Amino acid sequence: MALRDWQSALGQLVEARSSGRGLGPVLASLEERPLTDEERRGLREVVGTRGFSLTAEVPRWWRHLRVQRSARLTLMALRGDADAVLSDYLRAVPCFTLFFIAEGLSFLEYVARTVTRPHVRPVAELERALWTLKLAAPAWDGTVREPEPGAVLERHPAAACIPFKTSPQALLGAVLSGAPLAELEPGPHAVLVAPGVPGLWRPAEPEEARAFEACDGVTPLDTTGALAGAPVDAVRALLSMGALRFGAGGGQAVAAR
Amino acid sequence: MAGGTEKTCLPGDFVPPRRLGVGLTYIPGAPAVEACRGAVDFLELSPDILCHEHVGGGARRLIPQPARLEQALRDTEGVPVVVHGLGLSIGSAHGWNPAYLELLDAVHALRPFPWHSEHLGFLTVEAPGGELNVGTPLPMPLTEEALSLLVPRGAALARRYGVPFLLENLTWYLPGLPTEGGRDEVAFLNDFVERSGCGLLLDLYNLHCNAVNHGFDAFEALGRLRLDRVVQVHVAGGDTHDGFLMDVHSDVVPEPVWELLEWVMPRAPHLAGISYELLEEAPRLTPDVVLRQLERARALWRLHPGEGALHGAA
């Protein structure tokens, strides 16, 4: 037996059934694999058994559970589409992990990328940003730094500023209460996710959103300590919340909360 | 081999660990685990719960989560911890999970364990787009080639940490596993321990599931198993789905499994621990229910002091 090839074939068969993609391509590939005739026959026969069906159901149940536990808000925002979107996700993204948050992040990225239903995308992006921040920055030491001449800024790698097309408080309230999302008043808003924000998120002021947007990559401050299109106060606010930080060597520690 | 404290441990050098007693799955913050802290002699930790997995660029990284690690260390202070893993994918022919080994190294450095164990199976396989995680451990074929893969890996794990490495029998639902010369799971496990110097984590609920699902006599199977290499026993309960008894740790231990345990205990001279496995999401496993399972296991434990105890060991 070529153990490596047998495992590859069986694993792909189980995953294909589990994801709902169908077994056809994997079964067709058996002829090209360095397996014996007996091994090919055994694999073709096993896929018709109840034991195979159950084996393939187990990872599907777990993937459902992982998403349900780590993407609760987004599933609520999806309302009646949640089951269909979850099935689409399982079909589109092969199983890659046993970890709850890793699966949840993958699902949220999929929803943000593919779902067009109004208001779902920012909810998925917010939920994803919160997980990312929790994983990357478990503690915020509160150190605030004052810029020095020539200093450059960069975004905290786990901070985010997410655009919303309606009031984020109203949207999240509607998601949680089950109220209609379509009736929300349209308008540009943003949510800031940063390690120094109590609760990790809050609505962003328009100038803060502009400052975050302006700091793309390593960005130099101007002589007044501002960024292009964003005033000093907004820059200081983002620095104080850890959404922005100084690049290597920049800034001077002045206070610790 | 990188990392870890290595000690000389040649094949056949099986050294049984000291007896611990009755244990329980460690689940941070689970009410049943909290309530039963005074009723257990050891906790069984799955290192995966201490970290987050990042998969990207063709590589897996397990990123320790400091808060979880600190909580685990706090919760298990003063209690022996044994390690039970799934993420190593010890049976994957294309290679096991090196990120999991690094995690195990880190856990061992923080909280040395008297033994550690893995499921007999494989989780990851090669696929056209890269490595695929099947999402559930699949059984190994009962062949010489599979043994040739597992024996050096088991021996290497025992050397790496200087404590016994145990392989756990798996529940599986697939019929007709490839085999050679009539070798069944029992013969496979016996060959493994004989050649590797490793031990066994005998999951009696898994054995019961397989006996029911595949129609064999669990007592007959146990009668052929190298019980002198059994270091730990798992007991658990589960559910039935589509006519199959399933390994889901969602219920109390069924009577047939208690009967298997009663049969095994006087015949397993190096048994060092019995642990009850539970699933965090199982609503039936309230603290009182779990406590009763532990009490019943302890009553059996006390009846059988074991070879070490007869010679004055701890």
Asked if A135 and B63 come within 8 Å (Cβ–Cβ), the reply is: yes
pLDDT of residue B1: 33
Strand spans (E) along A90-185: 143-146, 152-155, 160-166
When the pLDDT of each residue in chain A is averaged and rounded to a whole number, the result is: 90
Asked if A14 and B138 come within 8 Å (Cβ–Cβ), the reply is: yes
Residues 6+ positions from B48 with CB-CB distance below 8 Å: A98, A99, B62, B85, B86, B87, B100, B103
pTM of the predicted model as reported, rounded to 2 decimal places: 0.89
Asked if B138 and A58 come within 8 Å (Cβ–Cβ), the reply is: no
Q: Which of A12, A51, A138 sits opposite B67 (nearest CB)?
A: A138
Asked if A102 and B129 come within 8 Å (Cβ–Cβ), the reply is: no
pLDDT of residue A250: 54
pLDDT of residue A203: 96
**Of B153 and B310, the one with more pLDDT:** B153
pLDDT in tens, A218-229: 888 877 777 877
pLDDT in tens, A35-77: 999 999 999 999 999 999 999 999 999 999 999 999 999 999 9
Residue A109 pLDDT level (bands cut at 50, 70, 90): very high
pLDDT of residue A249: 53
Which of B90, B173, B188, B210 would you mutate first to test chain A, the one with the most A CBs within 10 A? Answer: B173
pLDDT in tens, A125-171: 999 999 999 988 656 677 776 666 668 889 999 999 999 999 999 99
pLDDT in tens, B112-162: 999 999 999 999 999 998 899 999 999 999 999 999 999 999 999 999 999
Q: Where are the domains of chain A?
A: 3-134, 140-255
A:117-176 residues touching chain B, CB 8 A cutoff: 135, 138
- Mean pLDDT across the stretch B182-195? 96
> Which residues of chain B are within 8 Å of residue A57 when distances are taken between CB atoms?
241
ipTM of the complex, rounded to two decimals: 0.91
Taking the CA of residue B292 and the nearest CA in chain A, the distance in Å comes to 28
Dihedral sign, Cα of residue A151, residue A154, residue A156, residue A157: negative
Q: Which residue of A has its CA nearest to B86?
A: A98
> Which residues of chain A are within 8 Å of residue B212 when distances are taken between CB atoms?
none
> Which residues of chain A are within 8 Å of residue B63 when distances are taken between CB atoms?
135
Exposed/middle/buried for residue B66 (C-beta within 10 Å: 0-12, 13-18, 19+): exposed
Asked if B241 and A7 come within 8 Å (Cβ–Cβ), the reply is: no
Give ∠ CA A187-A193-A197 in degrees, rounded to 5: 115
pLDDT of residue A54: 97
Does position B310 have pLDDT exceeding 70, yes or no? no
pLDDT of residue B78: 92
Q: Which residue of A has its CA nearest to B144?
A: A1
pLDDT in tens, B1-42: 333 333 444 445 799 999 999 999 999 999 999 999 999 999
Structural domains of chain B in order of their starting residue, each with its CATH number:
21-306 (3.20.20.150)
Q: Which of A3, A54, A97 sits opposite B241 (nearest CB)?
A: A54
Asked if B52 and A6 come within 8 Å (Cβ–Cβ), the reply is: no
- Mean pLDDT across the stretch B194-198? 97
pLDDT of residue A114: 97
Residue A253 pLDDT level (bands cut at 50, 70, 90): very low
Distance CA A155, CA B156 (A): 44
